[in-house]
Structure 1
């Protein structure tokens, strides 16, 4: 396994200096990798409906199918990560994503669209695998810094990609859509090249310690540990209240209730990207040395303020205030994201024994994907029935539940896992003890 860094520095130059070569390769290419994703992310529904003639209902089903396949794939993906290594699983997932995007670029029939979405869904196993890879390279408090900086770079790549494709594509020229999906597919050559080249020596699979060797290592035994139960609930709620609403509930509420233009919604997403890119390093400096669960508590309050702002846009629809409220929502929401993204992955990987890291990240990914599926469904049901106030109330209750879950999690994890002091190399424990036999 490559060398690791165990530093609490949040100064960017110090962090970069202490980062192992493999970590520098990964981090320096993150924005470029996600540039391709940014080219296509805002326009898939438009591509399917207006270019390929797929009905909106079916297009929505195809988009949801990606998340469904992603949930199903996380279990085998986590096991494979622990058994064969994160590098092998990441190469396989990236290749599936490339194949799916190529199929989507040239498909004309529904079966081929489902094939494309299935392949893209399978590629979701790269998320837990990459988190395991990062945890093998970077240890201690520096993990929190790495996850935060990586998240900012992801948003930078997606944001720039969206700006480029927005200026390039034209619904009257279908070939422009084909081009961006081909470019997104070719962008997968970057992670594949890294994993087969500079990162080929990174090893994530390890033998369990003598104490852990006799314990059950099933997913059920991991989920049953007290700390993991609360962490998964927190992850699910974060996805349900947050990311599961952004492409569905936020846009629908802004258009139907706030009555703002699509251009305003575009500005709001741009503000979100700018906030994350600009604020992430500042946030990392401020949260260093603080309990991660308290950071998540603050994040829940911040998101509650964001949803209250969006809800208020319905008080004066189609007004200057509605425009302000919609844009301000993404400003505040983006700040909350900078608190969430460095903390939950760091807690997950500090909880996980090295030999189970793939499964821990897979379970976390599954909880996130489940929230991403449930969020749009709940939003569609509530807003379709014109339960606008109830929609905002549900999200505020979700934020309160996140705060409660964070405090419950705090009582079940060690100070080391909570980011107070540097963790020992491999505690092999989950919350109050080892992965329990069942």
Structure 2
């Protein structure tokens, strides 16, 4: 048992742990708000479920647009600068949410949140990728998913104990608490070194260069489907469904979301260990099948039970969903990094983040109106789409380069071909006075094709 627990150590540098600590604090605030945002807009401020879903979707639309700007700025200014700015903007927006009295107030403030969110994810992912060793990036992204879900779980539990739709002032406490966590993350970032790209041999690229990578685009489309029909539906629409269709109380909703996030937090590192050496796209296909079963569980809970009994069924469903989501945390983002070109990592991460924004736009926008008119129809529809996404994952596996089919093993010392060893700490205190960066495989190929000799230590033996 001790050996197994030691094997779960993600083996990451101190800077990554500091970054993850900031994310944990910030996600505590997001957990305070996440399960209750649509409930606040509908049950406290009087917006219909369809309009409340559109408010959330509008934020995702803004995030989609700002994400491309954030990705480009991350490549030019450095991800830490962009991330800090995004956190400050989000803090201001959430602090103003208690002042919502008209529908347009909700749209305007959620647009501001969306602008911040769009720049948050590509900059945060780029910073994490640059700090983690190439062969441990799958563990770094899995650890991120784990720590953020720990924060989200605790936040949801606290919010469930505070929030009461009959007392709007309780939601003011939630929004201000959330704003404080964004500023706390900014403070933590001061202890994380900034990073920069090495681009001496390459011109800065464009988003058009990313779009020409058809394998990557197909992979992003797959994620749009999984996010829109999977995570967005479960995270945004189950709380109002539980509250208004199954008559589940606010504290019980908080407990359900504690189970959801705690499931990811507990299961993430063991599942990372489990998927090492396994085929990535098959893992995502398995995830879609399990999600489909979880959605049918939600359907059963809403159709046959109410109150506490429904909450128990929903808790089981989201627990199963969460464990399957761990496959996404271990597989999706690391493969994005592996498919990316080194000098365009920020832009690749922005494209990747756009899949989340599109999913969180379509899922709540369409699902909110389905929930308003035919609540029980939403869950089998989501299940069917997840099954189709699983088939699509198997179909595009053959387009992924063969050397990227499998998640690397922990004991890999050489790293994974195609990852980002061209990231370096922007510091005047190097770890070694004579260390030299390993050349990227693409750079080496260009050198040889151009008539140059291979760099020392890169020739085959």
TM-score, normalised with respect to structure 1: 0.83
Match of 1:242 among 211, 230, 244: 230
- Structure 1 residues 102 and 10: alpha-carbon distance in aligned structure 2, compared to 1, 3 A threshold: farther
Quickly say closer, same or farther: Cα 1:252–1:413, change in 2 above 3 A.
Answer: farther
Matched, 1:183 2:177: yes
Conserved? CA contact 2:74–2:123, under 8 Å = yes
SS class of match (1:217): coil
Match of 2:340 in 1: 352
Q: What stretches of structure 2 of length at least 5 have no aligned partner? A: 423-439, 447-461
Contact residue 260 and residue 323 of structure 1 kept, 8 A: no
Distance in 2, matches of 1:360 and 1:66, equals 21
Per-residue CA shift, 1:12-34, capped at 9, x if unaligned? 67846x42221121123332222
Mapping for residues 127-146 of structure 1, pairs under 5 Å: 127-146=121-140
**Residue in 1 aligned with 2:315?**
327
SS at 1:290's partner residue?
A: coil
CA shift at 1:414, angstroms? 3.9
For 1:349-408, what per-residue CA distance to the aligned partner results, in whole angstroms no more than 9, with x for missing partners? Answer: 122122111110111111111111111233245455549568514532432323422441
Matching residue within 273, 279, 283 for 2:261? 273
> 1:150 is matched with which residue: 125, 141, 144?
144
Unaligned runs of 5+ in 1: 1-8, 434-438
Q: Does 1:160 align with 2:148?
A: no
CA RMSD of aligned residues (A): 3.2
1:306–1:333: 8 Å Cα contact kept in structure 2? yes
CA–CA separation in structure 1 for the residues paired with 2:61 and 2:281? 29
**Secondary structure of 1:241's aligned partner:** helix
CA contact (8 A) 1:40 1:184 kept: yes
Residue 83 of structure 1 corresponds to 76
Residue 194 of structure 2 is aligned to residue 202 of structure 1: yes
Q: 1:390 to 1:49 in 2, by over 3 A?
A: closer
Q: Where in structure 2 are the equivalents of 1:31-430 lying within 5 Å?
A: 31-52=24-45, 57-108=50-101, 112-124=105-117, 125-171=119-165, 173-195=167-189, 197-199=190-192, 201-207=193-199, 209-210=201-202, 213=203, 217-251=205-239, 259=246, 261-262=248-249, 265-313=253-301, 316-318=304-306, 325-384=313-372, 386=374, 388=376, 392-393=380-381, 395-416=383-404, 418-420=406-408, 422-424=415-417, 425=421, 427=440
Matched residues in 2 for 1:92 and 1:237: separation?
Answer: 30
**Separation in 2, partners of 1:247, 1:189:** 24
Aligned residues: 414
Higher mean C-alpha deviation, range 384-393 or range 99-108: 384-393
Measure how far apart 1:250 and its partner are: 3.6
Q: Which of 13, 38, 41 pairs up with 1:20?
A: 13
